[in-house]
Amino acid sequence: MKAGILTISDKSSRNERIDESGPAVRELLAGIGITVEKYEIIPDEMDLIKLKLISYSDKIKLDIIVTTGGTGVSPRDLTPDATLAVIDREIPGFAEVMRMESFKKTPHALISRAVAGVRGNTLIINLPGSPKGAKENLEIILKTIPHTVSKIQGDPSDCAVQ
């Protein structure tokens, strides 16, 4: 499977902060055999986020896009809004379980607006911008990603848990 990582951060896009969440996500994805073919750091700009999500899914044809950052309630946190604007279908269970499990570690998990969904044949997942939050949230859903992508792309086999 081919993935893209899109770090959404005003500070990191201006080289005022090193992006540590993107590399953490890359490492976890590699651990389940997913190759990261595209990685970018962009500012919290709604139109740019939408443009990149569309390009990664429709033009580059990535199987998975993982975003980090912009999932909170600050005025510049626009990642979930941009994601909702471009997906065909939402997968609420991903975000629900990430918030539920994160809440066990911090009450701040409740203000996450992260979403997950499908655009065409691509799975899009929003993660927090902090390296710790991104890693912990991705670990929660990591084992479901290969099966989810297979189903999105038309795998007709049953979904029995093994």
Convert the pLDDT of each residue in 11-66 to its tens digit: 999 999 999 999 999 999 999 999 999 999 999 999 999 999 999 999 999 999 99
pLDDT of residue 116 exceeding 70 = yes
pTM beyond 0.85, yes or no = yes
Nearest CA to 112 among 68, 148, 142? 68
Q: What is the CATH number of domain 2-152?
A: 3.40.980.10
> 39: part of which helix (H) or strand (E)?
strand 35-42
Name the one residue in this structure whose structure tokens are 């570690």: 105
Name the one residue in this structure whose structure tokens are 């990582």: 5
pLDDT band at 161 (very low <50, low <70, confident <90, very high): low
What does pLDDT average to over the chain? 96
Domain boundaries, the chain: 2-152
In percent, the amount of the chain with pLDDT more than 70 equals: 98
Residue 119's φ and ψ, nearest 5 degrees, are -125, 115
> 5: part of which helix (H) or strand (E)?
strand 2-8
pLDDT band at 85 (very low <50, low <70, confident <90, very high): very high
